Structure formats: C-alpha cells, structure tokens
Amino acid sequence: MSSNTVLVTGGAGYIGSHVVLALREAGRPVVVVDNLVTGRREAVPSDVLLHEFDVADRARVARVLADHEISAVMHFAGSIVVSESVEDPVKYYANNTSASLALLSACVAAGVDRFIFSSTAAVYGEPSVAEVDESTPTAPISPYGSSKLMTEWMIQDIERAHPWFRAVRLRYFNVAGADPAGRTGQAGPESTHLIRVALDTALGRREALEIFGDDYDTRDGTCERDYIHVSDLADAHVAALNYLDAGGKGDVFNCGYGRGVTVKEVVAEIGRITGSPLRHRRAPRRAGDPPSLISNPVKLRASLAWEPRNAELARILETALAWQRSRVHPGTSSDQRRGAGDELTRAFDDYVPAKA
C-alpha cells in the first residue's frame, strides 16, 4: 500500500460504504476496519481490504496504521439511533466516545496527521434559528448528540496539543438515498430512518409508517429535516480530504442542502412517485426529536468547493427506492416482493421528477 492510503472505520456501513466508493473513484487506496455488527461484508468491494474488529481495540488499530502506512483516517464507526441512545446511553458513550478516544490515541501515536470525523447535526439540539450554521450554539438533547459532541471536543483538544494534527468534523443533517449505480445502500433490518421506513412501507414490508408527532411548530405539524443524498455526502468527504491535503486547517462544516422537508411532505412525494397513497398513522412523539433541523451549507460550499449532484427530494427517493427494491427482506413473501416490484416498475415507467 502507498502512503496515500486512507483508513475508513465503519466502511461496511451505510455512509462508510459510499465513501469507500467515492475514494476509489478519486484514485485513493482504501483500507476498511469494521466489526460488522451493523455493517455488511458485501458492502465492501472485493478488492478493498477489510479488517474485522472494533475500533476500540487500540492495539489492532495501531497495527493497521503501521502495516498499511495510513496517511489519513475517516471515522464512521459508531451507533446512530437517537431514541436508542436515550434508552441506553452507556452504549452510546462506549461506542461513540470511548471507542473514538482509542482510535484518536492510536492515530496520534502513529503520526497520522489528517482525520475526518462523522459527526451530526444532533449536536445542536433544538436550535432557536431557522437555519443552523457552524456558529450556532451546541446543546444536544440526546446522548447520541452528546456522545458525538464529546468526540469533537477531544479532537479540538488534540489539535491544540499537536498542531500537526488536523481534523475536519462534518456535521450531517439527515442522510438518505443510495448509490445511483446500485452498488450499496441502507440495509440494516431495524433502521429507524424515515425514508427507509417509508419506502419499506410502500414495498409492503411494513404495515404502515408511524408519524411520531403531528403537533410540532412546523408548517404541517410534523418534524422538518434537511435531507442530503448519501452520494453527495460521500463527495463532501473526498472534498474534505483534498482540503486537508492542500494544507487546510482543522475545522467544522455542516452537511446539508439548506432546505427543510417535513414528514408529511416525504409521505406525499412517495405517494406521487408510486401512484398510491402511503399507509401511515400517528404515533406519540419520540424522545430527543427536535421540531426542525435545517443546515446552512454556505461554509461547506465555499471552503471545500463542494457542489451536490443529487439534491432533489425525488432523486433521493428514486435511488433509495431502487436500492430497497433490490433487497430481499426476511418475512416478506415472494408474492409481496413480486407485487410491489411490479407496481413500482410501472410507476417509474411514467414517473417524471418534479422541478425545483
């Protein structure tokens, strides 16, 4: 391996696997570390080396860094379900904070000077502004958000102690969609992400979509989020690495499009695409859900020269739907899969995406 090799932790997961593809397309050698608890071995290209262990194992991380002469690390490994973090905070501080400390300490000891961290807009909690920029105060309302913010603090402290160490912290808003070429996508059987759950409902894999609260202070009472296509997010990681390669200093960037979409709007768009109303029902609010989270991506675009290629909601849903149709889910009968697939194929034959 060359000294240009990038280590991707969690590279067999949803976002990590898309970043692996983007790095390869940019000509970067890649090595993956993933414990495969939620990741999938088949999401990693066959010619990319996968080490199966947890990043909390500092000694094994150190060996990988040395053996492959790793020059940069992109860190995705961790737990991501907000509601679960409220119920089991210990798990989140272990998987997201403690494990990140082990990884960071190994990187510092090995002299790895470039680090890109998968953070989250959950660090902002319930912001009082319509659009969230990087100067918005951080005030997480869930252990998930707190565990990520604590890792950001550790990174900043390491940068102050070791000026040669430079890290980009990317705060994601809501990630959705799938690789347009169908190579990877969201595959966890217990996903709680709205678009994944909604499309599984459209495909007959769930009885109905639950809308968690319809009395929020938004335009239709349901939560509003800034959805970013996962391939555009992957491109932002490559842009961040290019920025660090060019001597850029450590910094934080919001990753989103700067527009909000409500739950009911997602439901309506899926119904329009499929030609059939999406089955849904009201459910109580979930702990840790802010009413609205919308990014101000000006800094990301200006500093990293990043431009999205898949920004339309229709594009996000189309690629996610194509991926989900290709997946065989346990508990779904062959008749259900065939029927849903036939119906959606007909819908896409006549489907024209809405203009911006």
DSSP annotation of 349: H
CA of residue 194 relative to chain centroid, distance: 13
pLDDT surpassing 50 at residue 341: no
Q: Phi/psi at 158 (nearest 5 deg)? A: -65, -40
Q: What letters, b where the CB count within 10 A reaches 16 and e where it falls short, cover 95-111?
A: bbbbbbebbbebbbebe
Q: Quick one: pLDDT at residue 354?
A: 32
As given in the structure block, the two tokens for residue 18 are: 């898309």
Name the residues annotated as catalytic. 144
Q: What is the pLDDT of residues 272-290, one digit of tens each?
A: 998 899 999 999 998 778 8
10 Å CB burial of residue 336 (0-12, 13-18, 19+) is: middle
DSSP conformational letter for 36: -
pLDDT surpasses 90 at 333 = no
> Residue 288: what pLDDT?
72
Burial code (b: 16+ CB inside 10 Å, e: under 16) for 251-274 equals bbbbbbbbebbbbbebbebbbbbb
| Structural contact between residues 320 and 186, judged by C-beta atoms closer than 8 angstroms | yes
Higher pLDDT, 348 or 297: 297
Which is it for strands 114-120 and 72-75: parallel, antiparallel or unpaired?
A: parallel
238-284 pLDDT, tens digit per residue, is 999 999 999 999 999 999 999 999 999 999 999 999 889 999 999 99
Give Cβ neighbours of residue 35 (< 8 Å, ≥ 6 apart).
52, 53, 54, 55, 77
Report how far residue 58's alpha carbon sits from residue 73's, in angstroms, rounded to the nearest whole number. Answer: 14
pLDDT in tens, 109-149: 999 999 999 999 999 998 888 899 999 999 999 999 999 99
Q: How far is CA 314 from CA 126, 143, 201, 286, 306, in A?
A: 27, 32, 17, 26, 21
Residue 345 has pLDDT above 90, yes or no: no
Mean pLDDT of 60-66: 98
